[in-house]
C-alpha cells in the first residue's frame, strides 16, 4: 500500500510538471505575467508559480490543484476542464501518459466533492466579475428588461400618465386608408404592438431602429422607455411617446370614437 502511494505521488508530480510547463509556455506566448494572471483568476502568484514549476509539495490537496489548473488554463483561453482532468486526484484514476483527454473522475469522498463544488462556484463567480469589469460592457437580457418593466408597472408608486396612456389619434374618414404608424428608436426600448386586437410584435429594439406597423381599425403601441421612442401617425409630424424611462401606451384609430 505504501509503495502504491509513493508511485501515485510520483505520477502526480510528473503530470504536474508536464502541465505546468505547458501552461507557462502558453502564458509567455501571450506576454502575460503571473501578476496579470493572478488578477484574472484570484489565484495567488506563488501557487501559479508552483504549478508552472511542478512543485507538488508547495500546493494544497490534489482536488484543489485540479481546480487551480482549470481556472489557470481558462484564463489563457485553453480548455480548462480537459487539462484539469489530466491531473490525477485519486488512486483509482487511470490515465494515458501525454494524453489530456477527459478521463473517468477520481473517487472522492463526499466532503471533498462538497468542498470542490463550493470552490468551483466561487472561482466561476470571481472570474465572471473580472471579465465583466475588463470588458466594460453591461449586458442586459430580454428577460431582465421585461422583468424590470413588469416590476415598474406593478409597483404601488406607478401611476401612468392618463393623458398619454389613453390618447387616441383618429384618422380622418376622408383619407380612407388603414392606420399606419412609423416608430423611430432614439434610445433602446421594449416595444409591444397590438394591431386590430392581435399582438404583432413584443421585444426589445435597439437605438436607431425604424419600424412601420399598419392596422385596419386600431393600432396600440406600448413602450418601456417612452422618452426614447418617436411615433409618426399616417405621415404626420413625429411625436415623442412620453418621458424618459416611463412606460406609456398610445392608441391609433382609423375612425374617431363614437
Kindly state whether residues 106 and 204 are assigned to the same domain.
Answer: no
Three cell numbers at 18? 508536464
DSSP the chain: -HHHHHHHHHHHHHHHHHHHHHHHHHHHHTT--HHHHHHHH---HHHHHHHHHT-GGGS--HHHHHHHHHHHHHHTTS-HHHHHHTS--STT----TT--S--PPP---HHHHHHHHHHHHHHHHHHHHHHHHHHT-----HHHHHHHHHHHHHSTT----HHHHT-EEEPPGGG---EEEEEEESS-EEEEEEETTEEEEEEEE-TT-EEEEEESSEEEEEESSGGGEEEEETT---EE-SSTT--EEEEEESS---
Kindly state whether residues 128 and 164 are assigned to the same domain.
Answer: no
Whether 187 maps to a domain, the answer reads yes
Whether 179 maps to a domain, the answer reads yes
Whether 153 maps to a domain, the answer reads no
Residue range 139-161, pLDDT digits in tens: 434 455 445 545 544 445 544 44
What pLDDT sits at residue 90?
74
Kindly state whether residues 19 and 125 are assigned to the same domain.
Answer: yes
Considering its fold, how many domains does the chain have in total? 2
Residue range 52-98, pLDDT digits in tens: 999 999 999 999 999 999 999 999 999 999 999 999 987 444 444 44
Assess contact for 48 and 59: CB atoms under 8 A: no
Kindly state whether residues 118 and 14 are assigned to the same domain.
Answer: yes
Kindly state whether residues 165 and 131 are assigned to the same domain.
Answer: no
How many CA atoms, within 13 angstroms, populate the side-chain half-sphere of residue 37? 29
Whether 94 maps to a domain, the answer reads yes
pLDDT averages per 10-residue partition of the chain, 258 residues? 76 93 96 94 95 94 94 95 91 43 46 72 70 44 48 47 42 59 94 95 93 93 94 88 92 72
Assess contact for 195 and 235: CB atoms under 8 A: no
What pLDDT sits at residue 131?
60
CATH code, domain with 71: 1.10.260.40
What pLDDT sits at residue 119?
80
Kindly state whether residues 13 and 101 are assigned to the same domain.
Answer: yes
What pLDDT sits at residue 234?
84
Q: What is the b/e burial string over 193-219, where b = at least 16 CB atoms within 10 angstroms of the residue's CB?
A: bbbeeeeeeeebbeeeeeeebebeebb
Residue 14 neighbours by CB distance under 10 Å: 14
What pLDDT sits at residue 73?
95
Amino acid at each position: 500500500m505504501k509503495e502504491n502511494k509513493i508511485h501515485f505521488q510520483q505520477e502526480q508530480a510528473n503530470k504536474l510538471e508536464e502541465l505546468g510547463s505547458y501552461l507557462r509556455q502558453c502564458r509567455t506566448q501571450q506576454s502575460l505575467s503571473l501578476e496579470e494572471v493572478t488578477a484574472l483568476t484570484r489565484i495567488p502568484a506563488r501557487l501559479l508559480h508552483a504549478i508552472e514549476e511542478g512543485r507538488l509539495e508547495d500546493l494544497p490537496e490534489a482536488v484543489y490543484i485540479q481546480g487551480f489548473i482549470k481556472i489557470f488554463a481558462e484564463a489563457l483561453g485553453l480548455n480548462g476542464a480537459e487539462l484539469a482532468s489530466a491531473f490525477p486526484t485519486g488512486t483509482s484514476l487511470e490515465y494515458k501518459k501525454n494524453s489530456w483527454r477527459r478521463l473517468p473522475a477520481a473517487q472522492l469522498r463526499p466532503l471533498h466533492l462538497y468542498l470542490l463544488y463550493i470552490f468551483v462556484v466561487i472561482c466561476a463567480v470571481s472570474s465572471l466579475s473580472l471579465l465583466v469589469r475588463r470588458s466594460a460592457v453591461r449586458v442586459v437580457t430580454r428577460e431582465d428588461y421585461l422583468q424590470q418593466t413588469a416590476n415598474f408597472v406593478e409597483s404601488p408608486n406607478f401611476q401612468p400618465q392618463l393623458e398619454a396612456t389613453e390618447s387616441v389619434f383618429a384618422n380622418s374618414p376622408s383619407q380612407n386608408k388603414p392606420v399606419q404608424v412609423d416608430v423611430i428608436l432614439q434610445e433602446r426600448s421594449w416595444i409591444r404592438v397590438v394591431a386590430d386586437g392581435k399582438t404583432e410584435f413584443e421585444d426589445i429594439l435597439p437605438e436607431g431602429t425604424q419600424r412601420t406597423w399598419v392596422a385596419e381599425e386600431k393600432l396600440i403601441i406600448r413602450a418601456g422607455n417612452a422618452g426614447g421612442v418617436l411615433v409618426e401617425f399616417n405621415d404626420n409630424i413625429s411625436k415623442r411617446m412620453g418621458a424618459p424611462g416611463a412606460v406609456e401606451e398610445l392608441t391609433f384609430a382609423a375612425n374617431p370614437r363614437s
